[in-house]
């Protein structure tokens, strides 16, 4: 399902020398005894998830069938990126079936909000607002605007079923608002932090409403949980990746570039950046998570990777089977001199670009390359891959002596902003 290849990683230490440390951190994750242990509910979530709530999601999807053509998903950070990453990876960028899905609440851009308001004027809209804290300002600003749009367009009574809230089970502003308004509610579990919450209602509800097979997605997460709950580095690819990151860090690489060769994986990279950046970047430490989509970015960042300062290594996410291949057509005139590719699949061209680039960057440019091969872009594979990265992230942060599950740095901008906004 998922294969990790460290052939070109240029590691100067043997992975197995980290086994004692990995075993210790493994216990922290398994027994909830490490730093941030209040937030490791995601580790066993693929078996422990709330089955009743899962059924309620499927029932709601059935109940709302045919009643909307546009789904607004209002949230930011961990309450946004996972669902968007899944949707784009699984459905592609221009899906021809299922509702249109528009993400809001992830920006203060008045320009964006006005564009969306105009765009949805004549659409049949429902809205899922997602916030664990229930007080995130970006989400709250957008929610008030889109809530009023819905109430004005359909009336207060109809807004009750058109708006669905995903938030804390017991407390918070959004929770009390939803109670008062009579919205259907779903839960962000106490022991699962935002960026680890894709497998909860945070990700599952919008995905189900958009037509993604969430049973398959959870099956993928469960199989990955079983594969990556093994203590031995030798037998656990998530731990191998976690250790490889620590070794490269020690070798002086301060940035990791997450590389894909499919535009519909760009949001996977954004999700990955949040996962590693927010979990690891603390106390003056951490590898800067950055990303590129090749070959597009070979014509921009490619120069730096090949020939610039040697600060980064690449982690490639390669999907072995993508749908919708195209055969390059023949052209009698051949005015563009492209007939040398006639009859070839465009996927083959992409693969050759990837192989050539790997050799150019790793062999000629001496840039370490980690390869992650995923079978396909199905919901199952998405679930499997997400768990792989979450498990690797927990481990790599513990190995670095960092609590992966808090984000104290994020509060600093909020304090300054609140002061300027005049918030008490």
Bond from prior residue into 295 cis (ω within 30 degrees of 0): yes
Catalytic-role residue among 250, 414, 416, 423: 414
Closest CA to 168 of 184, 147, 186, 183: 186
* Residue 84 touching ligand PA5 (CB under 6 A): no
Judge whether 158 counts as a catalytic residue.
no
Judge whether 299 counts as a catalytic residue.
yes
Query: How many angstroms separate the CA atoms of 2 and 392, rounded?
Result: 13
- Please report how the helices 379-399 and 19-31 are oriented relative to each other, as an axis angle in degrees rounded to 10: 120
* Residue 237 touching ligand PA5 (CB under 6 A): no
The answer to whether 239 touches 27, Cβ cutoff 8 Å, is: no
Interacting stretch for ligand PA5, rule CB under 6 A, among 39-47, 70-78, 316-324, 347-355?
70-78
* Residue 131 touching ligand PA5 (CB under 6 A): yes
Q: Which residue is nearest to ligand PA5 (CB)?
A: 194
Could you tell me the smallest distance in angstroms from the CB atom of residue 415 to ligand PA5? Answer: 14
Could you tell me the smallest distance in angstroms from the CB atom of residue 251 to ligand PA5? Answer: 29
* Residue 129 touching ligand PA5 (CB under 6 A): no
* Bridge partners, residue 255, by sequence: 288, 312
C-alpha distances (whole Å) from 191 to each of 45, 365, 383, 406 are 10, 43, 19, 12
Specify the residue, 132 or 162, whose C-beta has the smaller distance to ligand PA5: 132
* Residue 236 touching ligand PA5 (CB under 6 A): no
Residue from 193, 206, 383, 404 in contact with ligand PA5 (CB under 6 A): 193
Specify the residue, 23 or 109, whose C-beta has the smaller distance to ligand PA5: 109
Query: How many angstroms separate the CA atoms of 310 and 77, rounded?
Result: 30
Q: Which x/- pattern over 385-424 shows residues binding ligand PA5 (rule: CB under 6 A)?
A: ----------------------x-----------------
DSSP designation for 377: S
Residue from 8, 128, 139, 266 in contact with ligand PA5 (CB under 6 A): 139
The answer to whether 29 touches 43, Cβ cutoff 8 Å, is: yes
Sequence-distant (6+) residues with CB within 8 A of 179 are 185
Could you tell me the smallest distance in angstroms from the CB atom of residue 79 to ligand PA5? Answer: 4
Quickly list DSSP for 281-317: --TT--PEEEEEETTGGGGTTHHHHHHS-S-EEEEEE
Judge whether 414 counts as a catalytic residue.
yes
Query: How many angstroms separate the CA atoms of 221 and 243, rounded?
Result: 22
* Residue 77 touching ligand PA5 (CB under 6 A): yes
Interacting residues with ligand PA5 (CB under 6 A) = 76-79, 131-133, 136, 139, 193-195, 278, 407
């Amino acid at each position: 399902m998922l294969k990790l290849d460290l052939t070109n990683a240029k590691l100067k230490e043997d992975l197995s020398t980290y086994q004692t440390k990995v075993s210790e951190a493994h216990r922290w994750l398994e027994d909830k005894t490490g730093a941030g242990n209040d937030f490791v509910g995601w580790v066993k979530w693929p078996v422990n998830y709330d089955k009743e709530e899962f059924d309620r999601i499927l029932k709601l999807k059935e109940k709302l069938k045919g009643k909307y053509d546009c789904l607004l998903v209002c949230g930011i950070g961990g309450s946004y990126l996972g669902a968007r990453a899944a949707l784009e990876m699984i459905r592609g960028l221009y899906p021809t079936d299922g509702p249109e899905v528009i993400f809001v609440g992830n920006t203060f851009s008045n320009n964006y909000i006005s564009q969306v308001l105009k765009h949805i004027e004549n659409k049949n809209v429902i809205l899922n607002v997602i916030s664990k804290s229930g007080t995130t300002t970006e989400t709250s600003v957008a929610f008030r605007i889109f809530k009023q749009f819905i109430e004005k367009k359909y009336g207060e009574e109809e807004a009750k079923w058109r708006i669905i809230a995903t938030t804390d089970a017991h407390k918070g502003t959004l929770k009390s608002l939803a109670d008062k308004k009579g919205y259907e509610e779903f839960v962000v579990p106490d022991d699962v932090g935002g960026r680890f919450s894709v497998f909860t209602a945070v990700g599952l509800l919008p995905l189900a409403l958009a037509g993604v097979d969430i049973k398959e997605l959870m099956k993928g997460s469960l199989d990955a949980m079983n594969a990556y709950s093994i203590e031995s580095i030798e037998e656990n690819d998530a731990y191998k990746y976690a250790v490889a990151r620590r070794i490269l860090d020690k070798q002086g690489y301060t940035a990791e570039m997450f590389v894909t060769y499919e535009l519909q994986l760009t949001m996977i990279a954004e999700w990955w950046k949040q996962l590693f950046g927010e979990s690891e970047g603390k106390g003056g430490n951490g590898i800067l998570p950055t990303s590129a989509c090749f070959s597009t970015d070979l014509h921009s960042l490619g120069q730096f990777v090949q020939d610039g300062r040697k600060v980064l290594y690449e982690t490639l996410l390669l999907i072995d089977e993508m749908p919708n291949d195209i055969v390059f057509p023949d052209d009698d005139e051949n005015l563009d001199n492209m007939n040398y590719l006639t009859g070839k699949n465009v996927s083959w061209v992409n693969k050759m670009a990837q192989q050539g680039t790997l050799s150019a960057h790793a062999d000629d440019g001496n840039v370490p390359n980690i390869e992650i091969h995923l079978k396909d872009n199905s919901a199952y594979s998405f679930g499997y891959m997400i768990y792989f990265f979450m498990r690797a992230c927990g481990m790599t942060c513990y190995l670095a002596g960092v609590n992966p599950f808090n984000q104290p740095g994020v509060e600093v901008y909020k304090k300054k902003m609140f002061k300027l906004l005049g918030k008490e």
